Amino acid sequence: MLPQIETCREVSEAILDHMPVKDQYRTQAASATPPPAAEIPVDSYDIAEFPEVRALEQNFAMVREAGLENPYFSVHEGLTNDRTVIGGREMVSWATYNYLGMSGEPEVAAAAKAAIDRFGTSVSASRLVSGEKTIHQELEREIARTIGTEDVVTFVGGHATNETVIGHVVGPGDLVLHDSLAHNSLLQGAVLSGARRRPFPHNDFDAAEKLLAQMRGQYRRVLIVIEGIYSMDGDFSELPKFIALAKRHRALLMVDEAHSIGVMGPRGRGIGEHFGVNPADVDLWMGTLSKALGSCGGYIAGSKTLVRWLKYTVPGFVYSVGLPPAAAGASLGALRLLQRQPERVAKLHANARLFLQLAREAGLDTGPSGGSAIVPVILGNSMNSLRLSRALFARGISVQPILYPAVEERAARLRFFITSSHTPDQIRRTVAAMQEELARIDPAYARSAQRPVSVA
């Protein structure tokens, strides 16, 4: 129900058919004699009558009829880290990507303010023409140093980065081979490119190998797209295997590190640091500034040649404004703080391990979560997931439910984002509260609990 946040199955199915619904309609329309205006159906010109709009409205009605509140667009009245204020009430928050507590950190805020004081609130042009500022260059050097690549280019949004870069690097006659749980931005990029799109089963390296063996020869370029940490399940790819695969089949490899930069590896340098790979073995390292790096924007890290090519040609950079000074300053401040305080990453890892351990001990289904900053609690029932999230909300705990069709019904869940700011006490109390509420909402599930969590 309701707007999908991450993967969009309906859109992706249309994409799989390799012809978006709109285009099918256009093709039919082009060959037929145009109908008189009076015969054009209302659901093709009145937005309120669009079938997809009506379906959304029906979902809202269903939630209202069930006596539940819409869990989306809750209004937060201040900073969100381990806590947040909603409706005047302070709550424990498990619904923010502020993994390292960088947003709200005074030093990061000071870096953003200093950037505004020096450069203004906008760079007021594409960087290619007159928007290039020293702070862009400093930030890109710092990201490159963190990941270990030759160069970096930043963009104004993470989603936009994937769309425009994939849309540009491959095209008709090429193949995008991606994980079946790929983020919407990666799928949209593939659609924009006009390349053929093939998913492989989640994290199934052998299946990807088989597809490549069958298909590589039929395409000019093949782009393999994986993610550092997957945002629904909190698990991650076997990166060294994908590197070897890409090399064997002469394919390009792109890794989306939206949820792994700042999170994986002892110093938070991402999945490359976690596995100790040579950064040059990945063609495109993509990441966002909006999560662990306390800001907004996206980046591509890679070779000097790649970055120069993108800077001069990729539409979402060339024809768009440069990163605003405040956003660049905040990320730069966050990266510098991260370098001085790697213990933030260690704290995040310890919190995530504790959450996962307690949730497992409580008999909760945490799926394949690998102890990263994301831990799902899978209930396999959208209504119960919604009820549990509302019951926790009533107890001062904010956590987002993920419901059908964002995931399959049997995978409906609550999703916890762990941060370095959380305390062991918050973790214990949350898992205990979940157990108690589940005993009311879904006794059969709760009975599978092995032992209560101690709140001591």
157 binds ligand PMP (CB under 6 A): yes
Structure tokens, 20: 């978006």
Which residue among the candidates 259, 347, 349, 422 is catalytic per the annotation? 259
- Letter string b/e over residues 427-456, b meaning 16 or more CB atoms within 10 A of that residue's CB: bbbbbbbbbebbeebbeebbeebeeebeee
**Cβ of residue 93: shortest distance to ligand PMP, in angstroms?**
16
DSSP helix/strand/coil, 83: strand
Structure tokens, 399: 């956590």
Structure tokens, 22: 């709109």
Asked if 311 is an active-site residue, the reply is: no
**Cβ of residue 437: shortest distance to ligand PMP, in angstroms?**
27
Which residue among the candidates 93, 231, 369, 421 is catalytic per the annotation? 231
3-state percent breakdown (helix, strand, coil) of the chain, nearest 5: 50, 15, 40
Asked if 231 is an active-site residue, the reply is: yes
Distance between CA atoms of residues 264 and 345, nearest Å: 8
Q: Single out the segment in contact with ligand PMP by CB under 6 A; choices: 190-198, 252-260, 336-344, 436-444.
A: 252-260
258 binds ligand PMP (CB under 6 A): yes
Asked if 259 is an active-site residue, the reply is: yes
Give the x-and-dash track for 185-224 against ligand PMP (CB under 6 A): x---------------------------------------
| DSSP for 12-54, written as a single string | HHHHHTTS-HHHHHHHHHHHSPPPPGGGS-GGGT-GGG-HHHH
372 binds ligand PMP (CB under 6 A): no
Q: Which of 71, 101, 131, 158 binds ligand PMP (CB under 6 A)?
A: 158
User: Residue 97 in contact with residue 229, Cβ under 8 Å?
Assistant: no
Q: Which of 227, 273, 283, 442 binds ligand PMP (CB under 6 A)?
A: 227
Q: Which of 231, 295, 369, 400 binds ligand PMP (CB under 6 A)?
A: 231
Distance between CA atoms of residues 274 and 272, nearest Å: 5
Give the x-and-dash track for 277-306 against ligand PMP (CB under 6 A): -----------x-x-------x--------
> What are the CA-CA distances from residue 336 to residues 65, 106, 329, 332, 422 (Å)?
50, 13, 11, 6, 22
389 binds ligand PMP (CB under 6 A): no
Interacting residues toward ligand PMP by CB under 6 A:
157-159, 162, 183, 185, 227, 231, 256, 258-259, 288, 290, 298
Residues labelled as active-site residues? 231, 259, 291
